[in-house]
């Protein structure tokens, strides 16, 4: 690769054109900054551009999983369902790009290979895989937490004569499974969402499950005109409630311990959250100690196991689908489904426990486990992502004195406030490790970060400083604090991607900040009020 000539310098370079990158671009423009946004895909949308698998939809309600920064936008856009499908979310993001005239600063099909900070000029040079160079004062990583798919690493895959797909790299034209025998590997959120849809299309579906995860019904439904009109008339109140909710989405949290109520009342609360008016992540807010107290947690786990056994008619399948005691409820990201467990009652759906009988190889005509061979025409991998750090470490990012982020994070990610990294001045990460991020309504967390970063940059420029850098001591304290609050919960017990446990060889560090959106916002606002305490500004 021969580096090409540097394009005109800009104030800000943004990497990624998903929810985060687009809003950062909008804010930077309004601050009068010159901006270049670089995006690997050939369209905007980030996660919603890549993840086009059958059944893909958000699992945070669309009325919340949407931008709040523009009253006009939230009044004019009509979501069709409580949880919008991928295509609709992608239309929304494209609408935002057009409505705010964002495209003129976006360069598509441009994957960043490296970024280097120059101490003398306090500027970043970004080099793309095609060798193009960009020069910017601020570098904003809007690269997403789940954007680097875990590549399928199965012996013999290259010999398979059928077609195979990864959930996060789905063919744009879609896939027709009619008449096919399909194998699906992976039962996280992606696998759980696609199982019922593929089961309806395919001649036969075999789900290969390694770890039984907890899934709760979304209770998805169309949004009526009356509901939309009501929400729009009270949108400010809805957003305000979201800001004060632990996850950035109002889910009527119950502030009681699961241990302080009668068995009957406990069951009633769980039922309420499982059924129509409830649904989705409301289950996690049924009691205030589900993620802290193992007994409270077990009550929730037993409730869901009871639902699985009541739904799945074949008792052998039901037992395989029941999460085991070594996975506390909610410690792997809760799946939110539509008819997932019911799907295993179909005649054309089989379930294989690949924890008990591991996959040994992919063959030209299917897949072999230690128990036998399965003939397949197509294989779908819903095997997840190199989460939270994958996209950042895929680039060679070098800060002061040429230090590499890969080296700095060799034992796990370290940030100050989840937004800045000591030794990497003028670089900000949106919704990254060390912030509520993936444990929250991420669009809300994105807006919080973009507003905070933008205000900080405006503040710095108004004071004539050119360089903003997190101080090492403050970063160390923040990392300790993030670990301390995580260790007060059951989260680190589950072998989840929150911990990096899904990637062989990845350091096990609990990456998101668990104290919740309001507590986090108060901390970062407090830092700002103290002239951005913990940051050197020169």
The residues that touch ligand NAP, with contacts defined as CB under 6 A, are 57-59, 146, 167, 185-191, 193, 210-211, 333, 354, 359, 382-385, 438, 497, 502
For the chain, the C-alpha Rg in angstroms (whole number) is 23
408 Cβ contact partners less than 8 Å away, ≥ 6 residues apart: 399, 414, 421, 423
Minimum Å gap between C-beta 471 and ligand NAP is 32
How close are the terminal C-alpha atoms of the chain, in Å? 35
**DSSP-assigned letter for residue 452:** H
Q: Which of 41, 19, 10 is nearest to 105 (CA)?
A: 10
CA 370 → CA 373, 382, 484, distances in Å? Answer: 8, 21, 41
Whose CB is nearest to ligand NAP? 188
Name 261's Cβ contacts closer than 8 Å, sequence gap at least 6: 269, 287
In sequence order, what are the residues at sequence separation of 6 or more whose Cβ sits closer than 8 angstroms to the Cβ of residue 166?
149, 151, 152, 380, 381, 382, 383
C-alpha distances (whole Å) from 266 to each of 240, 253, 270, 311 are 29, 14, 6, 21
Residue 214 CA to residue 302 CA, distance in Å, equals 11
442 phi/psi in degrees, rounded to 5: -65, -25
Q: Which residue in this structure is represented by tokens 């950042």?
A: 392
Task: Report DSSP letters for 160-183, one per residue.
Answer: --SEEEEGGG--TT----BT-EEE
From 503, 220, 448, 495, select the one nearest 340 (Cα to Cα). Answer: 220
Residue 81 CA from chain centroid, whole number: 20
Contact 181, 376 (CB under 8 A): yes
**What is the CA angle 71-442-34, rounded to 5?**
65
Angle at 210 between CA 209 and CA 211, to 5 degrees: 100
Q: How far is residue 509's CA from residue 388's CA, in Å, rounded to a whole number? A: 11
Q: Supply the minimum distance, in Å, between the C-beta of residue 86 and ligand NAP.
A: 9
Q: Could you tell me which of 149, 171, 241, 140 has the C-alpha nearest to residue 468?
A: 140
CB 40, min distance to ligand NAP, A: 18
Contact 268, 303 (CB under 8 A): no
Nearest partner of 202 among 338, 58, 347, 337, judged by Cα: 347
**To the nearest whole angstrom, how small is the minimum distance from the Cβ of residue 265 to ligand NAP?**
31
């Amino acid at each position: 690769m021969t580096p090409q000539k540097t394009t005109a310098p800009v104030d800000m370079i943004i990497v990624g054109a998903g929810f985060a990158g687009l809003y950062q671009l909008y804010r930077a423009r309004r601050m009068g900054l010159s901006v270049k946004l670089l995006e690997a895909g050939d369209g905007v949308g980030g996660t919603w551009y890549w993840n086009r698998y059958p059944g893909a939809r958000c699992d945070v309600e669309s009325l919340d999983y949407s931008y709040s920064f523009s009253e006009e936008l939230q009044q004019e856009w009509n979501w069709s369902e409580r949880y919008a499908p991928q295509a609709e979310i992608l239309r929304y993001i494209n609408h935002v790009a057009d409505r705010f005239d964002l495209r003129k600063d976006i360069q598509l099909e441009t994957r960043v290979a490296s970024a280097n900070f120059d101490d003398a000029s306090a500027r970043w040079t970004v080099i793309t895989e095609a060798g193009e160079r960009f020069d910017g004062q601020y570098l904003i990583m809007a690269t997403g937490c789940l954007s680097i798919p875990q590549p399928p690493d199965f012996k013999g895959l290259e010999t398979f004569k059928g077609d195979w797909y990864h959930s996060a790299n789905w063919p744009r034209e879609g896939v027709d499974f009619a008449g096919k025998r399909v194998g699906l590997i992976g039962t996280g959120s992606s696998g759980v969402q696609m199982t019922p849809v593929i089961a309806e299309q395919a001649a036969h579906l075999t789900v290969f499950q390694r770890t039984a995860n907890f899934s709760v019904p979304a209770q998805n439904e169309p949004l009526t005109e009356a509901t939309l009109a009501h929400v729009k008339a009270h949108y400010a109140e809805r957003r305000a409630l979201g800001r004060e909710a632990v996850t950035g989405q109002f889910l009527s949290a119950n502030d009681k311990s699961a241990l302080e109520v009668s068995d009957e009342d406990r069951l009633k609360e769980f039922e309420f959250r499982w059924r129509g008016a409830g649904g989705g992540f409301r289950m996690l807010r049924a009691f205030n100690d589900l993620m802290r107290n193992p007994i409270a947690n077990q009550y929730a786990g037993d409730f869901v196991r009871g639902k699985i056994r009541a739904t799945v008619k074949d008792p052998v399948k039901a037992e395989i689908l029941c999460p085991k005691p070594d996975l506390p409820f909610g410690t792997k990201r809760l799946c939110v489904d539509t008819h997932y467990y019911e799907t295993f009652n179909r005649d054309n759906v089989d379930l294989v426990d690949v924890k008990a009988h591991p996959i040994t190889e992919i063959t030209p005509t299917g897949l072999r486990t230690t128990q036998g061979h399965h003939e397949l025409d197509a294989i779908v991998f819903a095997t997840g992502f190199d989460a939270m750090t994958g996209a950042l470490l895929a680039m060679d990012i070098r800060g002061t004195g040429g230090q590499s982020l890969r080296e700095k994070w060799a034992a796990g990610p370290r940030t100050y406030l989840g937004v800045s990294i000591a030794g990497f001045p003028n670089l900000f990460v949106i919704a990254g490790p060390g912030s509520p991020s993936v444990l929250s309504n991420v669009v809300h967390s994105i807006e919080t970060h973009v507003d905070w970063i933008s205000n900080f940059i405006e503040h710095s420029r108004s004071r004539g400083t050119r360089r903003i850098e997190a101080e090492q001591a403050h970063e160390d304290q923040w990392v300790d604090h993030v670990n301390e609050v995580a260790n007060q919960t059951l989260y680190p017990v589950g072998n989840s991607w929150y911990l990096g446990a899904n990637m062989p060889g990845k350091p096990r560090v609990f990456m998101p900040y668990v104290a919740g959106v309001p507590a986090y916002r108060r901390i970062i606002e407090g830092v700002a009020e103290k002239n951005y305490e913990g940051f050197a500004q020169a």
